[in-house]
Chain A
Amino acid sequence: MDNFYLGIDVGSVSTNIVLIDEKNELIYKKYLRTQGKPIDIIKVGIEEVANKFGENRIQGVGTTGSGRHLASIILGADEVKNEITSHAVASLNVRPDVKTIIEIGGQDSKIIIIRDGIVVDFAMNTVCAAGTGSFLDRQALRLGVDISEFGDLALMSDNTVRIAGRCAVFAESDMIHKQQLGHNQKDIIKGLCQALVRNYLSNVGKGKDIKPPIMFQGGVAANKGIRKAFENELGEEIIVPENFDVMGAIGAAILGKEKSKSQGYTNFKGLDIYKKDYNVKGFECEGCSNLCEVLEIKENENTLARYGDKCGKWSF
C-alpha cells in the first residue's frame, strides 16, 4: 500500500489539508475556514482524513502558514516551513521553469521571484489588506454578489470603471460613490479587480523583476476577473495551477516528505489526535515590564508546549 504525506497550511482565513503520494501527486485535499479556531479545525480535518482512509499511512508531515508552529505542536510535524518556501516548492513541482509566483490569500499577498529553480527574491504585503481575499469578500457582500460569481461578472463587462485601489477604506467609499452615480454592477466589479491588481503591483510587486512563466495561486486565483486583470496589466499569460487553493499545503507536504525520508522516521502522532482534547490557556507573565502573553497548550492533562515569552522562562 502506498505511503502518504500530510501537508497542512494554517492561514488566517483558511486551513488547508492535503495528502500526497510518493510521486507528489495530490490524493486528497480539504479547504476549511479557520474561523479563528485553528485547533478545532485541524481536528475536524484530521477526523475526515481518518474516516476516509481508515488506517494511518502517513509517513511524513509538513506544516506552513501563520499557524504552522501551533499545527506542528498538535500533529508532530517533520518540517515546519514558512509560506514563501512552501509555495515556491509547490509551484516548482508543477512547473520547474516558473519564474514568478503571485500568491494572494485571505489576508496577505506575496510575490516570489524564482530563477533556475531557486527563490532569489520575495516580498509580502505588510499592514495593508487592500487587494487581499478578505477585501474582495467584503466588497462582494456589499454589492450583493456571491464571491464565486465575482470573476465571471467582471469578464462580462466591456466598460471599466476606475476605482481608487490604494487603500481598502478609500476603495470602498469610491466604489459606493460609483454605485450612486449609476454605474452598472459588472463594470464596477471589473474596476475593482483592476484596482486590486494595480495595488498589488505597486505595493508588493514594486521593483520586482516579473518574468514569465508567471503562476498565480492562493484563494483569490479562483477569481477569473483578477486573473484577466493581471494578464492585461502585465501583458503575459498567467498560469493558474490546478490546485491553486492548496499550494502552500502541497509544498509543506513535499518538504515534510523530504525531511522524514532524510531523517528516516516521522514525528507524526497518528490520526487519533482528533479524539484528544486540547486546551489553550493564555496568561500574562508579570515577571518584567514586557508583560509577555504566554500561551500554554495542553493535550488532555499533559502540557505540550508553552510559548510567547521573550526571555525563555516559560517556553519549552
Chain B
Amino acid sequence: MKITFPHLGNVYIAGKAFLEELGHEVVPPPTCSRRTLEIGIKNSPEMMCLPFKVFIGNYIESIEKGADTILITGSCGPCRFGLYSLMQRDIIRNMGYDVNFIVLDSFKEGFKDFKDNIAKIIGSASLVKFTKSVKLAMKLIKMTDDLTQLSNEVRAYAINKKEVNMIMDKFYEKAVLTYGAKELIDLIKSIEEELRNVKIDKYIKPLKIGIIGEIYTIIEPFVNQEVERKLGELNVLVDKSLTPTKWFDHHVLSYPFGSKYENTKFKLAKPYIEDMVGGHGRETVGSAIYYKNIGYDGVIQILPLNCMPEIVAKSVLKSVARDLNFPIMTLVVDEMTGEAGFNTRLEAFTDLISKRKEGSRIKIG
C-alpha cells in the first residue's frame, strides 16, 4: 500500500512522517504547480470550488509517482467539502485509475466505517504505537506551523526578504526527502537556526495583518498566490486565523468542547452570526473581530470563488468593518486569478492601512 493524500498547506510534511512512523510507504504529492491545477481543471466540474480541482491534480500526480491509496478526511459540515470524497472517488475511477480511497469521517457518521478506516491506517502497528504516532504527528504539525510563522515574522523585519524565501524553499525541498519523524525534527531545528540568523532591521515597524477566510486558501501558498510572502516583502507581519495546528486543536484534541481560541471567535461573532453558516463562515467573522481586539491593523479575507460560507461571511464583514472602523479587504481566488491585479490590491491595501495609521496618529497628537 503506497499512501498519498491531497496537499493542505504544510500538513504533508507532518502527515508523511506520521504515516511512515506507522510503517507505511508514503508518496507525498508533488508541490502544487500550474500542471497540478491544469489536470484538476480538466477533470473537475467547472463550477466546483478551487480546492476540489487542486485535490484532483494532487491525486493524479501522486498516482503517476506510484501511489495506490488515497487518504482524505470526510466532512459533513454544510459546505461542498462534504462531497469531495465521494465525487473525487468517482472521478478518479472514471478516469481509469484503480486506487483505494480511505475516507476518515467523524465516528458520528458510522462507527464501523470509522473503525475500519482507522484499522487500515494502523495496519500492523499496535494501538500504543498508533497513539504515540498521533501525538507525534500533532507535534510535527505544530512544529511546521511554528516554523512557517517564524519565517513570516523574520520576513517582516529582514533586510533581504529573498533570503527568507530561499531558506523556506530549501526546507520544503528537503522535507520530502527525510524519512520518519527524527530526521524531520532535525531538519526543522536546523532551518529554525538559519531563520534566526537572517539579518534583520529592527527599526522596521511592520504593519500587522491577519489572514482570515476559507482554511484551504489561507494555508495553501500555491492557491493564495503566496500571500504571506508577498505581504512579508511589503514589511507586513502576517498571522493566519486558521492553521492545521489550530484546526486539530479545535476538532480533535479539544473534542467535543472545542478549543478556547475557536470558542472565543464564536463568542465574538455572535452579535453578527449566531449559528453555524457552514464551513468556517462564523469563524471568519469572529477572527476579524479577534484581530481588531489584539491590535492588528487590518485583515484580508481570502476565499475560493463561489465558496458559500465565505460569501455569507463576506457580506457580514462589511458591517464589521463599519462598526469597528477596521480595514477589511476580500480577495477571491480561482484559476483565473491574475497575479498583477492581486499584487496591486495587496499593495494598495497596505498603503491604505499605513496611511490610516499615520492619520490617526496625527489626530491624536
Contacts and interface: CB of A to CB of B under 8 A. Distances in A.
B359 A118 contact: yes
A108 B347 CA distance: 17
A120 B33 contact: no
A83 to B, nearest CB: 7
B351 A82 contact: yes
Given A84-B351, A124-B345, A289 B33 contact: yes
Main secondary structure of the interface of B (DSSP, over half): helix
B352 A120 contact: yes
Centre residue among B34, B332, B351 by max chain A CB count within 10 A: B351
B47 interface: no
B318 A207 contact: yes
Contacts of B322: 209
Interface in B20-47: 30-31, 33-36
A122 B348 contact: yes
Contact of B332 (A108, A121, A126): A126
Contacts of B352: 84, 118-122
Interface string A195-210: 0000000000001010
A126 B341 contact: yes
A284 to B, nearest CB: 11
A1 interface: no
Given A288-B33, A291-B35, A312-B166, A83 B344 contact: yes
Interface string B347-359: 1100110011001
A311 B33 CA distance: 12
A31 B35 CA distance: 40
A66 B340 contact: yes
Main secondary structure of the interface of A (DSSP, over half): loop
B313 to A, nearest CB: 14
A138 interface: no
Nearest to B345: A124
Interface string B322-340: 1000010000100010101
B98 interface: no
Centre residue among B322, B338, B359 by max chain A CB count within 10 A: B359
Contacts of A288: 31, 33
Contacts of A117: 359
A289 B347 contact: no
Contacts of A84: 344, 348, 351-352
Centre residue among B226, B327, B332, B341 by max chain A CB count within 10 A: B341
A127 B162 CA distance: 30
A248 B162 CA distance: 30
A120 B327 contact: yes
A311 B315 CA distance: 36
Contacts of B169: 311-312
Contacts of A122: 348, 352
Interface residues of B, number: 30
Contacts of B321: 121
A148 interface: no
Contacts of B318: 207
Given A118-B359, A126-B341, A82 B348 contact: yes
Given A124-B345, A127-B336, A310-B226, A85 B351 contact: yes
Contacts of A83: 344, 348
Contacts of B355: 118-119
A242 interface: no
B146 to A, nearest CB: 23
A253 B355 CA distance: 19
B197 to A, nearest CB: 19
B34 A85 contact: no
B34 A291 contact: yes
B165 interface: yes
Interface string A280-316: 0000000011110000000000000000001110000
A116 interface: yes
A312 B229 CA distance: 12
B347 A82 contact: yes
Interface in B133-184: 162, 165-166, 169
Given A118-B356, A120-B356, A124-B341, A290 B351 contact: no
Contacts of A116: 359
A289 B36 contact: yes
Given A289-B30, A289-B33, A290-B34, A312 B348 contact: no
Contacts of A121: 321, 327, 352
Nearest to B346: A82
Nearest to B163: A312
14 contacts: A81-B347, A81-B351, A83-B344, A84-B344, A85-B351, A119-B356, A121-B352, A122-B348, A126-B332, A207-B315, A288-B33, A289-B34, A312-B166, A312-B169
Given A66-B340, A121-B327, 18 more contacts: A66-B344, A81-B347, A81-B351, A82-B348, A83-B344, A84-B348, A84-B351, A84-B352, A118-B356, A119-B355, A119-B356, A124-B344, A126-B332, A126-B341, A127-B336, A289-B30, A289-B34, A311-B169
